[in-house]
Amino acid sequence: MSQFAYTNGILHAEGNSLEALAQSIRTPFYCYSTAALTHNFQAFENALCQRNSLVCFAVKANPNLAVINTLSSLGAGADVVSEGELRRALAGGVPADKIVFSGVGKTREELRYALDKRILQINVESLSELKLLSEIACENGVEADIAVRVNPDVDAVTHEKITTGRQENKFGIDISAAESIYEYASSLPGICPTAVAMHIGSQLVDLAPFRTAFKRLRELVTALGGAGHQIRRIDLGGGLGVSYNGESYDVPGPELYAQVVNEVLGDIDCTLMFEPGRVISGSAGVLVTKVIYVKKGEGRNFVIVDAAMNDLIRPALYDAQHDIQPVRLPPADACTQLYDIVGPVCETGDTFARQIAMPDIIEGDYLVFNAAGAYGASMSSTYNSRCLVPEILVRGKEFSIVRKRPSYEEMFSLEQFADWQE
């Protein structure tokens, strides 16, 4: 059951009227449901309950501290890709021994910080990174538990900008070279290769690429074991998709995903690690916006809202479609029209939907973009000098502002005149 539903004709987030929140807080804003976050995390974790596993939330999907804390209180670990995300995970209450650090471009400073915090695992993605990590570990008198992130050369059949498991992608080390890399890693001081990792992409709605990649990973783990390497953990990454708008296919849930995991890796004596992001937070959040103008033209009706591509860039960046619905439920016999839903930014790309049928919209109406809890606020910016969008967390009938909208003065305070300017 969705935690975003109509009550007395008004769309609610759990026990909170989104119309009342919009009038109180001012749009646009993101609203997250504690109940939805909890349900999504537990559904994923429970699907894997027969396995020795660790579910690490992909912080890049939604790095809000309150969201991280909600999930860490449920036992979630964290998958991070920068020192900033690592610091957020720790600040949000995630224990260091449940944090895995991925990413192709970790700097010396970031690796040193990760070692200093004694995190669970660093996923190494190049030979150069492996050498640098060995050097830093020796300098600090510690040993780094690592996984080599392998690239299994599997097409995830997803958007080209979010696929990560093909040979031409920048991520990981070619799986054909993995055995020699592990042999080399075992000879390096300060390096303890205890795990294998992969991640083939995001928003996967077909389980076949997972199955193929898992089989290739299984073959590698078996070969490594035969060569005497003690592999204790297998990091399978994330990538399971969610339902947005305009999709004619059924999106597989955690149960079907877990079935593939168990069929391919069920008898492997290793802890399995997972890095879900979108499937945890995506459906747990909405973006609430207000209609500024309805602009009727000869061939198009434009609905101009106060949210823009700087608040939700997925449609402009990935051609993504989010289901859009009115906060106030229209009458059953309401007439519908075709609209383009657009934002105020000076870019034609600032378009959320084209020619969608919706009940009559008038200026002042509130609309919501559904399934906006992942890669929404986390990718927001101040383009066009628009203040960052605020974020709200609800729990039952309670709500709290968990990222405020900064003032213009606060935004400008990050800048200064040059020394020679008055």
- Across the chain, which has 422 residues, the per-10-residue mean pLDDT values are 90 98 97 98 91 94 98 98 98 98 95 98 94 97 95 63 46 85 95 94 88 93 94 94 70 93 93 96 97 91 97 92 94 92 94 94 97 96 96 98 97 95 86
- Concerning whether 346 is annotated as a catalytic residue, the answer is yes
CA angle 280, 283, 287 (to 5 degrees): 125
Q: Per the omega criterion (within 30 degrees of 0), is the bond before 193 cis?
A: no
Report the percent of the chain where pLDDT is more than 70.
94
Q: Where are the domains of the chain?
A: 4-31+283-412, 103-274
HSE value, Cβ hemisphere, 13 Å, CA-based, for 109: 4
CA 262 to centroid of chain Cα atoms: 24
pLDDT of residue 153: 78
Helices (H) and strands (E) in the chain, counts: 12, 21
Answer yes or no: are the C-beta atoms of 140 and 117 closer than 8 Å: no
DSSP, residue by residue, 384-402: GGPPPPPEEEEETTEEEEE
DSSP, residue by residue, 347-395: STT-EEEEEEEEE---TT-EEEESS-SSSSGGG---GGGPPPPPEEEEE
The model's pLDDT over 132-159, given as tens digits with 9 standing for 90+, comes to 999 999 999 999 999 999 988 775 545 4
Answer yes or no: are the C-beta atoms of 355 and 301 closer than 8 Å: no
Helical residues (DSSP H) of 266-345, grouped into ranges: 278-281, 314-318
Give domain 103-274's CATH superfamily: Alanine racemase (3.20.20.10)
Is-above-0.85 flag for pTM? yes
- CA 211 – CA 217 distance, rounded (Å): 10
Q: Where are the beta strands (DSSP E) in 59-178?
A: 77-80, 99-101, 121-124, 144-151, 173-174
pLDDT of residue 203: 87
Q: How many CB atoms lie within 10 A of CB 146?
A: 26
pLDDT of residue 201: 83
The model's pLDDT over 68-98, given as tens digits with 9 standing for 90+, comes to 999 999 999 999 999 999 999 999 999 999 9
Catalytic residue among 56, 270, 346, 387: 346
Q: How many CB atoms lie within 10 A of CB 109?
A: 10
- SS3 call for 403: strand
CA terminus-to-terminus distance, the chain:
59
Pick the CATH number of 4-31+283-412 from 3.60.20.10, 1.10.3720.10, 2.40.37.10, 3.30.1360.20: 2.40.37.10
DSSP lists the bridge partners of residue 286 as 31
pLDDT of residue 161: 44
Rg (CA), the chain: 23
pLDDT of residue 176: 87
- CA 214 – CA 277 distance, rounded (Å): 19
Report residue 354 as tokens.
């084209």
CA distances from 23 to 17, 199, 210, 349, 396 (A): 10, 42, 44, 28, 19
Which backbone phi and psi does 279 adopt, to 5 degrees? Answer: -70, -20
Answer yes or no: are the C-beta atoms of 274 and 54 closer than 8 Å: yes
